């Protein structure tokens, strides 16, 4: 691949737990969550332009070009770095929108890291993560690329190394609105903060699950189906439901049993994102 082109993965993430411990004066919620990556995701392709134009060549239904997080990330990096270079960008999209597995945030982070490399800006991770936070609370964890215990609105990150099992992820065909879930009057907002690192066993619940399951029957159905084989959890505020298995064979077996009634996939958990492994290989 030439120095003018670059292809990079944009991995999914899971929230292995999500506790809401309070609500701030600005309306944002204080969280504690545990992020882990999956070896599964989108693929972004970048081609250098010398004229400064940012052009996302892949169209998204219902998302105007300049509103897409990929374009916003590219333009913000261009603006703040003063770079006169641009890029054509394509994406092979497989991660669902509104699924709670970080598709948009991951795409934004891959764009920041990819263009930092392609434009030879030499920005460090801290600077890229700070820029990423202005695009969304989940962007910094993808920029840093290490499984993390997150606090605040999800931006205060402590690297952790949980087990890396295989997961079955079910993808109900509904898009869950984060704003809708966080504004639900029945949402738990007073979970006691976890003081111990890493997260102790038995603290793996997601405080958003009861609200999402009540509002979205398809998600409730997926939780019930997967729950027959393992503990079924919700990731983030999204629709995706996951369960852990000790090896690929067991995960594949359960996935096959559920395939007739549910859309989903099997993927390995990873504490170092496949994006960062790819970037390391380019150095």
Cis peptide before 198 (omega within 30 of 0): yes
Decide if 207 contacts 191 (C-beta within 8 A).
yes
Catalytic, out of 13, 42, 207, 233: 13
**227 marked among binding-site residues:** no
Q: Does 101 appear as a known binding residue?
A: yes
Residue 39 a catalytic site member: no
Q: Is residue 264 marked as binding?
A: no
Q: Are the C-beta atoms of residues 91 and 107 closer than 8 Å to each other?
A: yes
98 in a labelled binding site: yes
Q: Which two tokens stand for residue 158?
A: 């402590």
Is 103 assigned to a binding site?
Answer: yes
Determine whether 138 is an active site residue.
yes
The answer to whether the annotation marks 100 as part of a ligand binding site is: yes
Is 105 flagged in the annotation as binding?
A: yes
Dist. CA 272–CA 9, nearest whole Å: 13
CA dihedral (163, 44, 113, 140) in degrees, to 10, reads -50
Q: Of 42, 138, 207, 233, which is the active-site residue?
A: 138
Contact 186, 249 (CB under 8 A): no
The reply to whether 81 sits in an annotated binding site is no
Is 70 annotated as belonging to a binding site? Answer: no
With beta carbons less than 8 A apart as the criterion, state whether 237 and 101 touch: no
Catalytic residues: 13, 138
- Residues within the annotated binding site? 96-106
- Residues within the annotated binding site for ATP? 96-106
């Amino acid at each position: 691949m030439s120095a003018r082109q670059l292809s990079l993965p944009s991995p999914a993430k899971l929230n292995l737990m999500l506790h809401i411990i309070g609500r701030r004066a600005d309306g944002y919620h204080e969280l504690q969550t545990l992020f882990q990556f999956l070896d599964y995701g989108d693929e972004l392709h970048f081609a250098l332009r010398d004229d400064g134009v940012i052009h996302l060549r892949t169209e998204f239904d219902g998302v105007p070009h300049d509103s897409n997080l990929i374009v916003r990330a590219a333009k913000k990096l261009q603006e703040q770095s003063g770079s006169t270079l641009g890029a054509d960008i394509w994406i092979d999209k497989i991660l669902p929108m509104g699924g709670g597995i970080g598709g948009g945030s991951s795409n934004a982070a891959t764009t920041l890291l990819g263009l930092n490399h392609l434009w030879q800006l030499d920005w460090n991770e801290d600077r890229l993560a700070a820029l990423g936070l202005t695009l969304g609370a989940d962007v910094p964890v993808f920029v840093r690329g290490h499984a993390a215990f997150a606090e605040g609105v999800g931006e205060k990150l402590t690297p952790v190394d949980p087990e890396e099992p295989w997961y079955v992820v079910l993808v109900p065909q509904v898009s869950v609105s984060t704003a809708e879930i966080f504004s639900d009057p029945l949402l738990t907002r007073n979970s006691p903060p976890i003081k111990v690192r890493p997260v102790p066993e038995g603290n793996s619940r997601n405080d958003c699950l009861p609200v999402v399951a009540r509002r979205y029957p398809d998600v409730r159905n997926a939780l019930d189906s997967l729950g027959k084989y393992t503990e079924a959890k919700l990731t983030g505020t999204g629709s995706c439901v996951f369960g852990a298995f000790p090896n690929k064979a067991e995960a594949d077996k359960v996935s096959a049993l559920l395939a007739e009634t549910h859309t989903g996939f099997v993927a390995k958990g990873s504490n170092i994102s496949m994006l960062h492994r790819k970037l390391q290989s380019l150095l």
